[in-house]
């Protein structure tokens, strides 16, 4: 299917790591003729043009009228305003997908704004990213061999879903389908909670009475665990708020496990601690093997 894909005009709303890499991946595959960029900051759009991510900066209306495929890669709490700007100008042929890290609020925003165009929107979420952001962080192979979750809506025609999946597959992605609710629960567990914990951990160290010495002595373990805390605060703030029901469920589960672990440590329960370390290490190794 990837070989048959042809996109006359792609519009990217949000030309940073996620949206920019989508455009570059399709450019590298030679399946897109023209790329339009939409964004809030003219300087960011100009940088994207200089880097070869987009050919031209346009308004939301121009993107809606001219594009064959629109990729929305805005902060997730901005989706309602993005869809509203597009809604009245969408052509019959255009298909919309997204790279948002939450799906419940995004789909609700789409239903509230797109009206009878809702079938033209196929929600998606690439499980790929970096603590880097902006056009300079984008690269063509970001999605190669990475999981992309597609959450088809009941209003989507099968050929519309296939078109979006073909675009992601052309970027090198591995496709998976989940419903909207399951998506948000899964990503809360494996993506959102880790970032929450990394950020809180760095803050805890920064507030420690020995913070200056802590940071001077920190090595590989600190670097590995804390790396993702450098992500865009605007993006992650929106993700946490948008996905708070699933996040609160995961935090409650973790709180219960931490209480159990604290009790075991207080009692000097060697068996519990050893079993916890063994089970965790074995499951991590199994995951690593499954990935290869």
Query: What's the pLDDT tens digit per position in 153-186?
Result: 999 999 999 999 999 999 999 999 999 999 999 9
Dihedral sign, Cα of residue 109, residue 113, residue 116, residue 117: negative
CATH number assigned to the domain covering 183-291: 1.10.3660.10
Distance between CA atoms of residues 264 and 273, nearest Å: 7
Report the predicted TM-score, pTM, of the whole model to 2 decimal places.
0.87
- Return mean pLDDT, the chain: 94
Q: How many residues does the chain have?
A: 292
**pLDDT over 50 (residue 2):** no
Whether CATH 3.10.20.600 fits 2-177:
no
Within the chain, all domains assigned CATH 3.40.50.720 are found at: 2-177
Distance between CA atoms of residues 126 and 168, nearest Å: 9
Dihedral sign, Cα of residue 133, residue 135, residue 137, residue 139: positive
Within the chain, all domains assigned CATH 1.10.3660.10 are found at: 183-291
Give pLDDT tens digits for 87-135.
999 999 999 999 999 999 999 999 999 999 999 999 999 998 776 778 9
């Amino acid at each position: 299917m990837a070989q048959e894909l042809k996109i006359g005009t792609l519009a990217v709303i949000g030309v940073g790591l996620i949206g920019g890499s989508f455009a570059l991946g399709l450019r590298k595959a030679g399946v897109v003729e023209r790329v339009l960029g939409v964004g809030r900051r003219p300087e960011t759009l100009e940088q994207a043009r200089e880097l070869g991510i987009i050919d031209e900066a346009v308004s939301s209306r121009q993107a809606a009228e001219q594009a064959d495929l629109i990729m929305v890669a805005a902060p997730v709490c901005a989706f309602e305003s993005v869809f509203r700007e597009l809604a009245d100008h969408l052509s019959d042929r255009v298909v919309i997908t997204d790279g948002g890290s939450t799906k419940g609020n995004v789909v609700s925003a789409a239903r509230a704004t797109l009206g009878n165009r809702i079938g033209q929107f196929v929600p998606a979420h690439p499980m790929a990213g970096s603590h880097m952001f902006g056009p300079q962080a984008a690269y063509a192979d970001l999605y190669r061999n990475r999981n992309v979750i597609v959450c088809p809506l009941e209003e989507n025609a099968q050929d519309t879903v296939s078109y979006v999946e073909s675009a992601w597959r052309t970027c090198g992605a591995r496709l998976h389908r989940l419903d909207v609710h399951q998506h948000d629960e899964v990503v809360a567990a494996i993506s959102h909670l880790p970032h929450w914990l990394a950020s809180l951990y760095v803050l805890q160290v920064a507030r420690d009475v020995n913070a200056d010495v802590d940071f001077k002595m920190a090595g590989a373990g600190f670097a590995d665990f804390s790396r993702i805390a450098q992500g865009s605060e605007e993006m992650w703030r929106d993700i946490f708020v948008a996905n708070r029901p699933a996040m609160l469920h995961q935090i409650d589960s973790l709180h219960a496990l931490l209480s159990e672990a604290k009790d075991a440590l207080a009692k000097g329960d060697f068996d519990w601690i050893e079993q916890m370390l063994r089970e965790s290490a074995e499951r991590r190794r199994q995951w690593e093997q499954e990935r290869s």
